[in-house]
Amino acid sequence: WGQMSFWGATVITNLLSAAPYIGTELVQWIWGGFSVDNATLTRFFTFHFILPFIIAGTSMIHLLFLHQTGSSNPTGLNSNPDKVPFHAYYSYKDALGFAILLAALASLSTFAPNILGDPDNFTPANPLVTPPHIKPEWYFLFA
């Protein structure tokens, strides 16, 4: 495991220790011991892999229920004449956007898999050495 993975897990999980009464026990439960270790990083990688599938499944269930029952109109007026059918207008547009993004992500992961990674994450995790230049990830710089 890499330095940034180790220290990121350490910092983020230690934020939970500020919770009164259960903070320390909660952190130790998430760690699976008394410090960030191989089990902790494996749990985090598994969680980050499974979470998008859970979100996608929940979104599909939401869309299924929305399709079956319809959405509610707060004014109580019938707005059926203004509807545009989803299929044939937006289905093809969504399929094209999905295909473009899939091709872009597939080419990025195939030809330049480490382009967005931190170089410190190629250094093996060492709890005794803190990375010399800790800075926020690139996607936090625009927040």
State yes or no: pLDDT of 72 exceeds 90.
no
Q: Residue 41 is which amino acid?
A: L
From residue 97, alpha-carbon distances to 61, 81, 102, 131 in Å are 22, 28, 8, 39
Q: What is the pTM of this model?
A: 0.65
SS3 at position 2: strand
Q: What is the mean pLDDT of residues 88-103?
A: 92
Please determine, looking at this structure, whether the domain spanning 3-70+120-140 carries the CATH number 3.30.1330.10. no
pLDDT of residue 8: 85
Q: How far apart are CA 32 and CA 106, in angstroms?
A: 34
d(CA 143, CA 136): 11
pLDDT tens digits along 103-132: 999 999 999 988 877 787 888 888 888 887
pLDDT of residue 81: 64
Catalytic residues: 67, 71, 93-94, 137
Q: At what angle do helices 3-15 and 23-31 cross, to 10 degrees?
A: 150
Mean pLDDT, residues 62-90 taken together: 76
Contact by Cβ (8 Å): 7, 134: yes
Residue with tokens 């869309």: 63
Q: What pLDDT is attached to residue 79? A: 66
- The pLDDT, as a whole number, for residue 143 is 64
Can you list the positions of beta strands (E) in 4-141? none
Would you kindly state where each structural domain of the chain is located, as residue ranges?
A: 3-70+120-140
SS3 letters for 37-71?
CHHHHHHHHHHHHHHHHHHHHHHHHHHHHHHHHCC
Which pLDDT tens digit goes with each residue over 15-59? 889 989 999 999 999 898 888 888 888 888 899 999 999 999 999
